[in-house]
Structure formats: structure tokens, C-alpha cells
């Protein structure tokens, strides 16, 4: 079974609307990372969350970590076409410098 | 300056051929990784190296052999390429647990 579940798998929103992407882990989280990927390109780091209740923002993107639920949410306010892409959550599910496990990604399209 | 670089960016080859992908990081990180992203954008760890030593080798065919000549480089050699090897391969590096992984731009491998 998948260690990190992301939802929804895809999302189409109208420009200006808000949206939320969720990432739930079946294992204890030692760190949660959000990346964005545009088609044919590499991964762009967005945010890292480590502590329960932690919340970080960058421009119009906010990410929160609910440690008890082993869940993180990524919220985009007033979406723009530049927000379109694939959002991937990655997690440290083991202590130490181990590779990340990733969710299957959420494909976001923003319609003008 | 590019933090994690990979060459080539695109690789198109015939089944049965042997090919290599090179990765270099100029961040002074001790740990480097190879990930594979399939056609459904699912990103999965293949290998993890720490200080030139293999730490993690996920269930990957023996045809794949990573080599780390020094801490800054981690190359991936693939023998007898198969159609199913077609994917995007990402190199990444990380300094310490709890910090982001920096990803290279990816190498899109197409096996015909």
C-alpha cells in the first residue's frame, strides 16, 4: 500500500479560486516536504514542515502539518495560471538522512 | 550556479544498449540519491549513497549500477536497456536529515 496518499489526484480550478491539496501518511512523519513540478522540468522546493501544528507560507501558498493525523495540507489562495503544475508531497518516514517517499502527486490546472 | 546538475537531459536509445547518466552536486552534501519517476509521475527511490558508500538499494534490477567516484558525483549506469526503463531519472542530494533534498533537472530516458 502507498505510504503517502495525496488527494485529489487532479484539480481544475478557475483563476482566482482557492484550493487545498492533502497529503496523508501511514507512517510517523519526521519531516514533510512540498515540491512543485512543471511538465518536463525538475522539482522545485516549496516548503518543509517538521513540527506538529507548524504552518508556513510563501506568497499565496500555505502549508500546514497536523502531526497527530500524520497529515499535511497545501492551500493556494487566489490561484493564478502560474500555479499550474504537479504538486508532490514527500516525507521522511524514518529518522536519519534517508530518502524521501513521495505521494503520487496532484495535477493542478488553473483556467483563466 | 547550478546546485545539482545532470547530463544528459534527454537520452533516446535502442533496447539492449548500455547507457550512463551523470550527476554532480556543488553543495558539499554527503548524501546523494537516484530516483525514478514513471509515466504516472510517481517518484520512487532507487539508490542512496552516503560519503561514496551505498546505503540503500531498493528493489532495482542488477542492470542498474550506481557509482560514486567522489562525494560530489553519483553516476548511474544501465546495462541491457529495456522498454520499461523509459522514465525520468532524478538525482538529488541532501546535507543533513531534516533539510530539503535538492533535485537535479532530471534525465528523460526513452528506450525504443
Position with higher pLDDT, B18 vs A53: B18
Question: Are residues B47 and B60 in contact, defined by beta-carbon separation less than 8 angstroms?
Answer: yes
Residue A105 pLDDT = 94
Residue A95 pLDDT = 82
Q: Does A111 touch chain B (CB under 8 A)?
A: no
Q: Peptide bond before A40: cis, by omega within 30 degrees of 0? A: no
**Which chain A residues are closer than 8 Å to B35 by Cβ?**
99
How far does the CA of residue B30 sit from the closest CA of chain A (Å)?
Answer: 10
- Decide if B102 and A100 are in contact by the 8 Å CB cutoff: no
Residue B57 pLDDT = 76
Q: List CB contacts of B59: < 8 A, sequence separation 6 or more.
A: none
Residue A101 pLDDT = 92
Quote the mean pLDDT of chain A: 92
- Decide if B101 and A33 are in contact by the 8 Å CB cutoff: yes
Q: Does A2 touch chain B (CB under 8 A)?
A: no
Residues A87, A18: Cα–Cα separation, whole Å? 15
Residue B1 pLDDT = 65
Is the pLDDT assigned to residue A49 strictly greater than 90?
Answer: yes
- Measured between CB atoms, which of A41, A45, A104 is closest to B41? A104
* pLDDT bucket at B88, cuts 50 / 70 / 90: very high
Q: List CB contacts of B62: < 8 A, sequence separation 6 or more.
A: none
Position with higher pLDDT, B19 vs B60: B19
Q: Please report, for residues A13, A41, A48, B5, the alpha-carbon distance to residue B1 in angstroms, rounded to integers and kept in the order given.
A: 35, 17, 23, 10
**Which chain A residues are closer than 8 Å to B102 by Cβ?**
45
Residue B98 pLDDT = 58
Interface of A with B in 27-46 (CB under 8 A): 30-31, 33, 35, 37, 40-43, 45
The predicted-structure confidence for B6-48, as pLDDT tens digits, reads as follows 999 999 999 999 999 999 999 999 899 999 998 888 899 999 9
Is the pLDDT assigned to residue B81 strictly greater than 90?
Answer: yes
**Which chain B residues are closer than 8 Å to A102 by Cβ?**
42-44
Rounded to an integer, the average pLDDT of B73-85 is: 96
Among A103, A109, A27, A42, residue whose Cα is nearest residue A76: A109
Q: Does A88 touch chain B (CB under 8 A)?
A: yes
Amino acid at each position: 500500500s502507498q505510504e503517502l496518499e495525496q488527494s485529489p489526484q487532479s484539480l481544475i480550478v478557475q483563476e482566482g479560486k482557492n484550493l487545498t491539496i492533502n497529503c496523508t501518511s501511514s507512517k510517523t512523519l519526521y519531516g514533510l516536504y512540498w515540491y512543485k513540478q512543471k511538465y518536463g522540468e525538475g522539482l522545485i522546493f516549496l516548503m518543509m514542515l517538521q513540527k506538529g501544528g507548524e504552518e508556513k507560507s510563501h506568497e499565496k501558498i500555505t502549508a500546514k502539518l497536523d502531526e497527530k493525523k500524520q497529515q499535511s495540507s497545501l492551500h493556494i489562495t487566489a490561484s493564478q495560471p502560474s500555479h499550474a503544475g504537479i504538486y508532490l508531497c514527500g516525507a521522511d518516514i524514518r529518522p536519519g538522512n534517508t530518502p524521501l517517499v513521495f505521494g503520487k502527486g496532484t495535477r493542478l490546472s488553473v483556467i483563466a | 550556479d547550478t546546485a545539482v546538475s545532470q547530463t544528459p537531459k534527454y537520452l533516446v536509445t535502442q533496447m539492449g544498449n548500455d547507457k550512463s547518466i551523470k550527476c554532480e552536486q556543488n553543495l558539499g552534501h554527503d548524501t546523494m540519491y537516484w530516483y525514478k519517476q514513471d509515466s504516472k509521475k510517481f517518484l520512487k527511490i532507487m539508490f542512496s549513497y552516503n560519503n561514496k558508500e551505498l546505503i540503500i538499494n531498493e528493489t532495482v534490477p542488477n542492470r542498474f549500477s550506481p557509482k560514486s567516484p567522489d562525494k560530489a558525483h553519483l553516476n548511474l549506469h544501465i546495462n541491457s536497456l529495456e522498454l520499461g526503463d523509459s522514465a525520468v531519472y532524478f538525482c538529488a542530494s541532501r546535507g543533513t536529515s531534516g533539510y530539503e533534498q535538492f533535485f537535479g533537472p532530471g534525465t528523460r530516458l526513452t528506450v525504443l
